[in-house]
């Protein structure tokens, strides 16, 4: 907390600015896009503050940074989703989940966690299926598969049952789950029925998810510092 907390102060301030201004979604503009993306920009700075050498030498951290970049582009597209840019935003976040999955890695495999996430993802899609039409029938299926896979890799990496978890792995796991909650709320609100306080739920869980996933990138640095001290 002492080492990483101060670097996250700009993120918390930018998030507060977003919720205080609460710009109407009915009048999209570049200013509203900037305010929405500002917390994600601050997470770029958070990772860059650890040094370029750190990002270059640790692929997981650089992939999470790349995921945050695609997330910001996706956020900008979703500002104009009613003007036909929803699919563009969907594509950007699909790439984000691929990058995050790659950052979390494939070891350990943990097939039980994969089966659980597969069942959850399948259940979500089965519920949404009757509300979907046209290209969304397939696009949403692919997107749910990708975010479910990302969730699996985050859960598998925690290794809670083996007592090998670290605070950064726990951070990645909670962040992935919050990302799923955020995106599921978007899907329910857009395709199924109005969700009360949907925008607040979506953005609060989304910003928290991105912050926690960004925090998970510093694990390799912690391990390196521990080895040096040893």
Instruction: Write out pLDDT tens, residues 78-113.
Output: 999 999 999 999 999 999 999 999 999 999 999 999
Mean pLDDT (whole number) for 136-141:
98
CB 89 within 8 Å of CB 36: no
147-169: pLDDT as tens digits? 999 999 999 998 766 666 788 89
Query: In this predicted structure, what is the pLDDT of residue 2?
Result: 73
Distance CA 72, CA 41 (A): 7
Query: In this predicted structure, what is the pLDDT of residue 190?
Result: 97
Q: What is the pTM of this model?
A: 0.93
Query: In this predicted structure, what is the pLDDT of residue 45?
Result: 96
Q: What is the CA radius of gyration of the chain?
A: 18
CB 165 within 8 Å of CB 150: no
Query: In this predicted structure, what is the pLDDT of residue 164?
Result: 67
Query: In this predicted structure, what is the pLDDT of residue 160?
Result: 67
Its domain, for residue 95, covers 2-226
Number of domains within the chain: 1
pLDDT at 196 over 50: yes
User: Burial level of 5, CB count in 10 A (0-12/13-18/19+)?
Assistant: exposed
Distance CA 115, CA 148 (A): 10
């Amino acid at each position: 907390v002492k080492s990483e907390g101060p670097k996250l102060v700009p993120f918390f301030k930018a998030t507060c600015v977003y919720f205080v201004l609460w710009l109407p979604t009915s009048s999209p503009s570049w200013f509203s896009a900037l305010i929405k993306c500002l917390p994600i920009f601050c997470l770029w700075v958070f990772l860059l503050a650890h040094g370029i050498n750190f990002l270059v030498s640790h692929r997981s951290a650089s992939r999470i940074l790349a995921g945050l970049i695609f997330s910001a582009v996706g956020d900008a597209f979703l500002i104009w989703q009613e003007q036909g840019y929803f699919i563009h935003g969907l594509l950007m976040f699909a790439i984000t989940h691929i990058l995050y999955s790659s950052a979390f890695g494939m070891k350990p495999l943990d097939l039980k966690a994969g089966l659980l996430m597969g069942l959850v993802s399948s259940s979500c899609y089965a519920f949404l299926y009757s509300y979907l039409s046209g290209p969304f029938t397939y696009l949403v299926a692919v997107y749910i598969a990708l975010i479910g896979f990302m969730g699996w890799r985050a859960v598998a990496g925690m290794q809670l049952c083996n007592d090998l978890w670290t605070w950064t792995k726990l951070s990645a796991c909670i962040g992935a789950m919050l990302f799923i909650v955020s995106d599921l709320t978007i899907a329910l609100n857009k395709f199924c029925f109005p969700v009360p306080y949907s925008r607040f739920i979506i953005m609060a869980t989304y910003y928290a998810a991105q912050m926690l996933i960004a925090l998970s990138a510093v694990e390799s640095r912690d391990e390196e510092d521990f080895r040096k001290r040893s």
